[in-house]
């Protein structure tokens, strides 16, 4: 009887763990990332050998991420804040598989759409239409999937009359709107944004703000920003990173206060 009770208890615990795991969109565990920064150059093989014999490496190691661990639930709007150089953008690039971590793991459950740098992947010699499909391919979507998204992307960008013009003929504002629309209207499960809410003119910004309000509970979003107003306006939860570590996390209002204390 006791064995049966233990077995049933373990089965219930396992079912609970699996249910919780299914609710996690991103799981980050003990994440480390560093870079080698050159200190002095070795001009030629002779100098390189001389430096090596003297123990001069020619670089110093910069620890950027130092043991980060956190989960992001499905449908959660998470804000990540911190001062310049704290490791925020490096974290997003690890999540987006642009960088490989030195140690630790990242588990992504679903399709991830990163929007880290405006216009990355755009080709000025291609038309707006061709660039939409090119960016879609870079994000891992098939032509068929992009066919289904195309009209929605163009409508949101308000560029219906310009899609067959070459991108080099677009104004900078038009390029920003197209890039941003591809990111937020591409139907991925997880959207990653790095300092991009102030895009386009005032009318387009307000349109984007209304869109972000509609995302709560429907799409997982990670937003890196220095705008504490946007953190409190959009985010369900926030994380403050300082020197590559999590200094504080929880309600946006709490994290905002801790962020502002860094400047006292």
CA atoms within 13 A on the CB side of 95: 35
Lowest pLDDT segment from 78-82, 168-172, 175-179:
175-179
**Is pLDDT of 219 > 60?**
yes
Domain membership of residue 130 (yes or no) is no
Lowest pLDDT segment from 65-79, 109-123, 170-184:
109-123
Domain membership of residue 120 (yes or no) is no
Cβ contact 30:103 at 8 Å: yes
Domain membership of residue 140 (yes or no) is no
| 186 vs 193: CA distance, rounded Å | 13
Of the pLDDT bands very low, low, confident and very high (cuts 50, 70, 90), residue 49 is low
Instruction: Please state the domain count of the chain.
Output: 1
Lowest pLDDT segment from 61-65, 105-109, 145-149, 185-189:
185-189
Task: Specify the CATH number for the domain of residue 234.
Answer: 3.40.50.300
| 175 vs 237: CA distance, rounded Å | 31
Domain membership of residue 180 (yes or no) is no
Domain membership of residue 232 (yes or no) is yes
Domain of 17, in residue numbers: 2-110+189-261
Domain membership of residue 173 (yes or no) is no
CA dihedral 56, 59, 65, 67 (to 10 degrees): -20
| 94 vs 226: CA distance, rounded Å | 20
Instruction: State pTM to two decimals.
Output: 0.78
Of the pLDDT bands very low, low, confident and very high (cuts 50, 70, 90), residue 13 is low
252, two tokens: 């946006």
The more confident residue out of 261 and 210 is 261
């Amino acid at each position: 009887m006791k064995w049966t009770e233990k077995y049933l208890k373990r089965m219930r615990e396992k079912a609970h763990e699996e249910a919780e795991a299914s609710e996690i969109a991103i799981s980050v565990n003990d994440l480390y990332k560093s870079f080698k920064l050159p200190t002095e150059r070795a001009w030629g093989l002779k100098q390189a050998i001389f430096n090596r014999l003297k123990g001069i490496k020619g670089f110093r190691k910069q620890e950027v991420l130092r043991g980060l661990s956190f989960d992001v639930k499905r449908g959660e709007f998470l804000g990540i804040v911190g001062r310049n150089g704290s490791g925020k953008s490096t974290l997003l690039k690890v999540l987006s598989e642009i960088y490989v971590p030195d140690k630790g793991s990242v588990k992504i459950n679903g399709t991830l759409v990163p929007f880290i740098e405006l216009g990355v992947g755009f080709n000025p010699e291609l038309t707006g239409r061709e660039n939409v499909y090119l960016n879609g391919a870079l994000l891992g979507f098939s032509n068929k999937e992009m066919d289904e998204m195309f009209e929605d992307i163009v409508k949101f960008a308000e560029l219906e009359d310009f899609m067959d013009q070459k991108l080099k003929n677009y104004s900078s504002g038009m390029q920003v709107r197209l890039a941003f629309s591809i990111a937020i209207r591409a139907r991925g499960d997880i959207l990653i944004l790095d300092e991009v809410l102030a895009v386009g003119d005032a009318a387009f910004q307000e349109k984007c703000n209304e869109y972000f309000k509609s995302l709560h509970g429907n799409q997982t979003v990670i937003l890196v920003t220095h705008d504490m107003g946007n953190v409190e306006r959009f985010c369900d939860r926030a994380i403050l990173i300082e020197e590559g570590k999590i200094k504080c996390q929880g309600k946006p209002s709490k994290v905002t206060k801790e962020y502002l204390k860094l400047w006292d």
